[in-house]
C-alpha cells in the first residue's frame, strides 16, 4: 500500500496568513493527489484534484502543487471559514489511502 504522510499534524495561524501543508507519498504517484477540507460533523469537501486543479466553486486562495512523491496545499490569505482539518489522498492505485490529516487552528 502507498503510505501518505502529511505535515504538520496541526498548525496555528491567523486570518490573512499564508500557510502550506505538505503531503509525501511512499512511492511515486505522478499527479494523482487530491486535497480535502473537513469541518467538524461534516463530510469532507474536495478542494484540489490531480495535484493542482482547483475544484469548481473553491476559492482561488487555495492552490496545490507537486508531482512524484512530494505535494503541497497552500492557502494564501486565510479566512475564518478556512479553519478546519485538511487531508490528502492518493488516487494512483488502490487502496486509495489518505494522509493522517492536518488540523488548522486559529492563533
Partner 1 sequence: QVQVVQSGAEVKKPGASVKVSCNTSGYTFISYYIHWVRQAPGQGLEWVGAINPGDGSTTYAQKFKGRVILTRDTSTSTAYMEFKSLRSEDTAVYYCARDLGGWAAGLDYWGQGTLVTVSS
Task: Tell me if 91 contacts partner 1 by CB under 8 A.
Answer: yes
| Ramachandran angles phi, psi of 82, nearest 5° | -85, -10
Task: Tell me if 98 contacts partner 1 by CB under 8 A.
Answer: yes
Buried b (16+ CB within 10 A) or exposed e, 64-95: bbbeebebbbebeebeeebbbbbbbbbbeeee
Task: Tell me if 101 contacts partner 1 by CB under 8 A.
Answer: yes
Q: Give burial (CB, 10 Å; 0-12/13-18/19+) of 13.
A: middle
Task: Tell me if 22 contacts partner 1 by CB under 8 A.
Answer: no
Half-sphere exposure in the Cβ direction for 60 (13 Å, CA): 0
One residue of 1, 10, 59, 106 binding partner 1 per CB under 8 A: 1
Q: Report the alpha-carbon distance of residue 32 to residue 107 in Å, rounded.
A: 32
- Interacting span for partner 1 (CB under 8 A) from 13-21, 65-73, 76-84, 95-103: 95-103
Q: What is the size of the binding site for partner 1 (CB under 8 A)?
A: 26
One residue of 11, 13, 46, 84 binding partner 1 per CB under 8 A: 46
Q: Which residues bind partner 1 (CB under 8 A)?
A: 1, 32, 34, 36, 38, 43-46, 48-50, 55, 87, 89-92, 94-101
Amino acid at each position: 500500500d502507498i503510505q501518505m504522510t502529511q505535515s504538520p499534524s496541526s498548525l496555528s495561524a491567523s486570518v490573512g496568513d499564508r500557510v502550506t501543508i505538505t503531503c509525501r507519498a511512499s512511492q511515486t504517484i505522478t499527479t494523482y493527489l487530491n486535497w480535502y477540507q473537513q469541518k467538524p460533523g461534516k463530510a469532507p469537501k474536495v478542494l484540489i484534484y490531480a495535484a493542482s486543479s482547483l475544484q469548481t466553486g473553491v476559492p482561488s486562495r487555495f492552490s496545490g502543487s507537486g508531482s512524484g512523491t512530494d505535494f503541497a496545499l497552500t492557502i494564501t490569505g486565510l479566512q475564518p471559514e478556512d479553519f478546519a482539518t485538511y487531508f490528502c489522498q492518493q488516487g494512483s492505485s488502490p487502496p486509495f489511502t489518505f494522509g493522517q490529516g492536518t488540523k488548522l487552528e486559529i492563533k
